[in-house]
Copies of this chain bind each other. A is one copy, B any other.
């Protein structure tokens, strides 16, 4: 398998991106193209033992500066690491593109290089998310902050296709994330989308749900706008860390509890690893004609490693072809239905 990593994207690039790529190349044996300013990347690579690894460097001389508007800069400076990296995938030289850089910039580059699947309103960032019964899929988790109701409806379909393949569920239950289930709850977007989704015979729509039901595993697909979805995943991470940190404080304050925690350590480790699953290292942009994944902008080498691992998992599962073919069929059927009525 051949992956492309945007070596210049993210808060700690290129030091941490290169280090994460080296570690993942070592563990997986995959080829990882490192795209960005060649000299800089080679200087980073020189700090590592890369014997036996396939880490080709591809030069992308244009650098987007912090003070530039990312989406505009991607258009203007076309020899940036995102556009150059995605072109490697488009040309068939690699299977997928992964970045922990600015989401808006990745989205712009993705639209430029791969284009949307015909009929798709907006690409949607989706990620598996753990719950009490297993996993559900959540999207949008950050690609589109201000959304229209019809986008959410279409994402319900795209996420259904993804969930069917990813979770191996035949008819995924689709829900809309809201702040309450009673009449009058939800913002204007949710209220409008709720009406459209409940009338859509192609969706197994079960209604709006709150975070409590989401974590209880009551839906397989949870649809939301990218601002809310991003807050939900970031709040989850932050609260999990907070909780484990105050538990640690309380344990360390009590000698007997310290002994107990030592004995219980395997259970703590198992809990932490259930949350740190490789699956959550990067989300997939659904709706493009190419496999693009986005990891955390704050990823250090371990985060980059897991972003690459999640990307490899999607390639292994042939997730692009599986979702793309079904999305094309879905949109074709919807258009024919529209023409017939």
Contact = CB atoms under 8 A, between A and B. Distances in A.
Contacts of A238: 210-212, 214-216
A241 interface: yes
A226 B251 CA distance: 36
A15 B244 CA distance: 36
Interface string A235-248: 11111111111110
A23 B276 CA distance: 42
Contacts of A243: 239-240, 243-244, 271, 275
Dominant SS among interface residues on chain A:
helix
Interface stretch (A37-45, A65-73, A85-93, A308-316): A65-73
B231 A215 contact: no
Given A215-B241, A234-B210, A183 B70 contact: yes
- Range of interface residues on A (Cβ < 8 Å): 35 or more
A232 B235 contact: yes
Copies of this chain in its oligomeric complex: 2
Contacts of A130: 242
Contact of A247 (B187, B242, B267): B267
Interface string A162-189: 0000000000000001011011111110
Nearest to A213: B238
A211 B186 contact: no
A266 to B, nearest CB: 6
Interface stretch (A27-35, A115-123, A193-201, A257-265): A257-265
B257 A132 contact: no
A96 to B, nearest CB: 24
A295 interface: no
A90 B237 CA distance: 43
A145 B187 contact: yes
7 contacts: A67-B183, A179-B230, A180-B297, A187-B225, A232-B235, A239-B239, A253-B270
Interface of A: 66-71, 102-104, 130-132, 142, 145-146, 177, 179-180, 182-188, 190, 210-212, 214-216, 225-228, 230-232, 234-247, 250-251, 253-254, 256-268, 270-271, 274-275, 297
For the complex of A and B, list the 3 residue pairs with the smallest distance between their C-beta atoms, beginning with the closest. A260-B263, A260-B264, A179-B230
Given A212-B238, A261-B267, 6 more contacts: A102-B184, A190-B227, A211-B234, A246-B271, A256-B263, A260-B261
